[in-house]
Chains A and B, each alone.
Chain A
Amino acid sequence: DIQMTQSPSSLSASVGDRVTITCRASQTIANYLNWFQQKPGKAPKLLVFGASSLQSGVPSRFSGSGSGTDFTLSISSLQPEDFATYYCQETYRTPHTFGQGTRLEIK
């Protein structure tokens, strides 16, 4: 199975900050990488697919980049509703492994 490692595991930031979350795959996954946002008690929400394609309806302050083994999710100017847990997921090969999550908290 492909292993996905996110960093950091948790992050404190302020409204208006720019933040970047990193996801590393244990082997190359081309650009088959998704990002999800999850709030407590809610289902995950798709933000980015194919490493850099923004899902319809997702604000443009979110962006994804990378290919091969190293990927990033960036939020250009944090809004109050962005404080949540973020997960990456590879879909290069089944099982479609998720990262362990990055918890984004208010500073």
Chain B
Amino acid sequence: QVTLRESGPALVKPTQTLTLTCSFSGFSLSTTEMCVSWVRQPPGKALEWLALIHWDDDKYYSTSLKTRLTISKDTSKNQVVLTMTNMDPVDTATYYCARTHVNSRGYYADYWGQGTLVTVSS
């Protein structure tokens, strides 16, 4: 059974760094074609893709946010960590992590965490 769970602070102050952890079970991030993605959704708005890490440690980022984002994995702990620096109130959103496959049909996120709401406010 595949499960993912996001954890981190519910409230951060402007200019602070956000650190979110995705803890997962039921799959291994050392398996070929396996990835983990991060996606966020501001209240009442659309989904926004943030970052992706491959089983082989290749990493990809949102163009507009790449200077602020870092994604990393700890395969032994079954965790993926996303950090976002210089948080701003516009970064208030629900943050999701998702197991993502890559193969001849592209990338597809088939299991998602429940999401964690992060509010940026002083």
A94 and B52 within 8 A (CB): yes
Structural contact, A53 and B105, CB atoms closer than 8 A: yes
Known: A43-B114, A94-B52, A95-B60. A32 touches B47 (CB 8 A): no
Instruction: Tell me the A residues contacting B by CB distance below 8 Å.
Output: 1, 31-34, 36, 38, 43-46, 49-50, 53, 55, 87, 89, 91-92, 94-101
Which applies to chain B's interface (DSSP): helix, strand, loop or mixed? strand
Bound complex: CA A87 to CA B98 (Å): 15
Given A97-B49, A100-B46, verify A92-B109 contact (CB < 8 Å).
no
* Bound complex: CA A29 to CA B45 (Å): 24
Across the interface, do B109 and A46 meet the contact criterion of CB distance under 8 Å? Answer: yes
B7 to chain A, nearest CB (A): 15
Within B85-117, the residues touching A (CB, 8 Å) are 96, 98, 104-110, 112-115
The answer on a CB contact under 8 Å between B106 and A43 is no
In the bound assembly, the distance between CA atoms of A101 and B42 in angstroms comes to 13
The size bracket of the interface on B is: 20 to 34
CB pairs A–B below 8 angstroms (5 shown):
A32-B107, A44-B39, A44-B109, A95-B60, A96-B49
Question: In the complex, are the beta carbons of B63 and A32 less than 8 A apart?
Answer: no
Most buried by B among A1, A53, A95: A95
Interface of chain A, main secondary structure? loop
Chain A residue with the shortest CB-CB distance to B112: A43
Known A95-B61, A99-B46, A101-B46; judge A55-B106 contact (CB<8 A). no
B115 partner residues in chain A, CB cutoff 8 A: 43
Judge whether B108 and A50 touch: CB under 8 Å.
Answer: yes
3 smallest CB-CB distances across A and B, nearest first, come from: A50-B105, A32-B106, A49-B108
Bound Cα distance from A32 to B109, whole angstroms: 13
User: Are the C-beta atoms of A87 and B106 separated by less than 8 Å?
Assistant: no
How far, in whole Å, are A1 and B64 apart by their CA atoms in the complex?
10
**4 new A-B pairs (CB below 8 Å) besides A44-B39, A91-B108?**
A32-B106, A44-B96, A87-B46, A94-B60
Chain A CB within 8 A of B32 CB: no
